[in-house]
Chains A and B, each alone.
Chain A
Amino acid sequence: MSDMLEYKCPCCGGKVEFDSASQQMKCPFCESEFSIEAVQQMQQDQIGSNDMSWDASAGSDWQPGETEGMKVYSCKSCGGEIVADELTGASSCPYCGNPVVLQGTFDGDLRPDLVIPFKLDKNKAKEKLSEHLKGKKFLPKAFTDQNHIDEIKGVYVPFWLFDADADGDIQYEGIKERTWSDSNYRYTEKSYFNVRRTGSLAFEHVPVDGSSRMPDDLMESIEPFDYKDAVTFEKAYLSGYLADRYDVTAEQSIDRANHRIEQSVIDTFRESVVGYSQVHEKGNAIQLHNGKAQYVLYPVWILNTTWNNEKFLFAMNGQTGKFVGNLPLDKSAFVKAMTLYSIIGAVVACILTYFFFS
């Protein structure tokens, strides 16, 4: 019992002592009392540190002769490098629209482990693009008219997929509130709880795109891909499509996967803390183990457009049809509408005021 003198008050940080009268731990500074168990639990097991390490050996080597007929094309404008078989060829860059030049025969790089073959064709992509542009209030008319919709290209985009088991240990302060009043005062009673959640959560196939040319937010916006359709990679799947060459390694992509996994552990554990009017996280430790990575190609339809010197890139998930891409704003239409709405709003508010407050 003597080492209990070392415990700190969860309320003010002062040193708490055992109070023989109440048989409780008591803080001489703020007068709070705690059960012995509560104080022990607060301090005995400190939250550990975060450790997110991976074994990122994804992909494999190509068989001798397997890459025959595969050519690399490079874009002098944006530096993009794409791969296409001889028959398909490539003439313009899917990212910036500038012409690409044949650079040579493809070699090096890793061989993908898996591929999700294209499920939706070019016509579907065009159809989804017009749907995407339809009904958008402040989209400049000219933008829709000037789109080179035929330029839409099917590209296999390299992704690193990460699997891992996460161990989490998170501590929260939970506060329950009760209020009542008598004739003179309003009382608010706050009860403080030490909440602790320790557990594990497993993650499968968290994707990070391996191409620096492909904007990360664009690729995360067309998620999710359904991993169930992934099949063992065969070169034949590439015919008729382009393939982007990865230039970000699995090791370099891990941070993004870790961040998303960590956030999901925090969100999931937080959902189990219920019954409080306020919850504050006091500390977390998240460790990953059994981490492994895979190299896959995912199907994406891409269209780039330049409008008023600004670049716009659209992407469609070639498996699910999810279509994304930010659109330009017709500023004058926006200002006009905002002015009109404000005038209507002010008039309506004045009429309501006239009827209800005078």
Chain B
Amino acid sequence: MNYVVAIIIGILIGVVIACIQKSALTSVHMQHAAAEYIKRNSLKFSRKTDTYLYKRVEKTAIPRDNSGK
């Protein structure tokens, strides 16, 4: 069983490496945003608030290992 998992992981790593090498052929992409064109030091916040609202607690039972007893 361990070997089946190992073979699958090994194959996946091989595929990923090949695809990374393939991606070197692509160099044309649209730009995501306009970060290059932000005027230096132009960012000004007139309001920066972080207001606490409420809290929630979730609890999950820790699985018991009953085989020991």
Task: Give chain A residues whose Cβ lies under 8 Å from the Cβ of B6.
Answer: 346, 349-350, 352-353
Is the Cβ of B57 less than 8 Å from the Cβ of A202?
A: no
- CB within 8 A of A350: which of B3, B34, B55? B3
Number of interface residues of A (CB under 8 A): 85
Task: Give chain A residues whose Cβ lies under 8 Å from the Cβ of B9.
Answer: 345, 349
The docked-state distance in angstroms from the alpha carbon of A11 to that of B55 is 10
- CB within 8 A of A194: which of B42, B53, B56, B58? B53
Is the Cβ of B29 less than 8 Å from the Cβ of A203?
A: no
- CB within 8 A of B7: which of A32, A41, A132, A346? A346
Least distance between B4 CB and chain A CB atoms (Å): 10
Task: Give chain A residues whose Cβ lies under 8 Å from the Cβ of B57.
Answer: 187-190
Secondary structure of the B contact surface, majority rule: mixed
Given known contacts A342-B10, A346-B10, A353-B2, A260 and B52 CB-to-CB distance under 8 angstroms: no
Is the Cβ of A136 less than 8 Å from the Cβ of B47?
A: no
Is the Cβ of A324 less than 8 Å from the Cβ of B28?
A: yes
Least distance between A211 CB and chain B CB atoms (Å): 16
Is the Cβ of A353 less than 8 Å from the Cβ of B55?
A: no
Given known contacts A264-B33, A327-B25, A195 and B49 CB-to-CB distance under 8 angstroms: yes
Given known contacts A34-B54, A192-B54, A184 and B47 CB-to-CB distance under 8 angstroms: no
Is the Cβ of A34 less than 8 Å from the Cβ of B53?
A: yes
Is the Cβ of A33 less than 8 Å from the Cβ of B54?
A: yes
Is the Cβ of B58 less than 8 Å from the Cβ of A201?
A: no
Count class of interface residues, chain B: 35 or more
Q: Which of B15-39 contact A (CB under 8 A)?
A: 15, 17-19, 21-22, 24-39
Task: Give chain B residues whose Cβ lies under 8 Å from the Cβ of A200.
Answer: 42-44, 46
Is the Cβ of A326 less than 8 Å from the Cβ of B25?
A: yes
Task: Give chain A residues whose Cβ lies under 8 Å from the Cβ of B21.
Answer: 137-138, 337
- CB within 8 A of A341: which of B15, B46, B47, B58? B15
- CB within 8 A of B15: which of A191, A257, A268, A342? A342
The docked-state distance in angstroms from the alpha carbon of A345 to that of B33 is 38
A220 contacts the other chain (CB 8 A): yes
A5 contacts the other chain (CB 8 A): no
B65 contacts the other chain (CB 8 A): no
B67 contacts the other chain (CB 8 A): no
Task: Give chain A residues whose Cβ lies under 8 Å from the Cβ of B12.
Answer: 345
Q: Which of A50-86 contact B (CB under 8 A)?
A: none
Is the Cβ of A345 less than 8 Å from the Cβ of B13?
A: yes
The docked-state distance in angstroms from the alpha carbon of A224 to that of B56 is 47
Which residues on B are within 8 Å of A, measured CB to CB?
A: 2-3, 5-7, 9-15, 17-19, 21-22, 24-39, 42-62
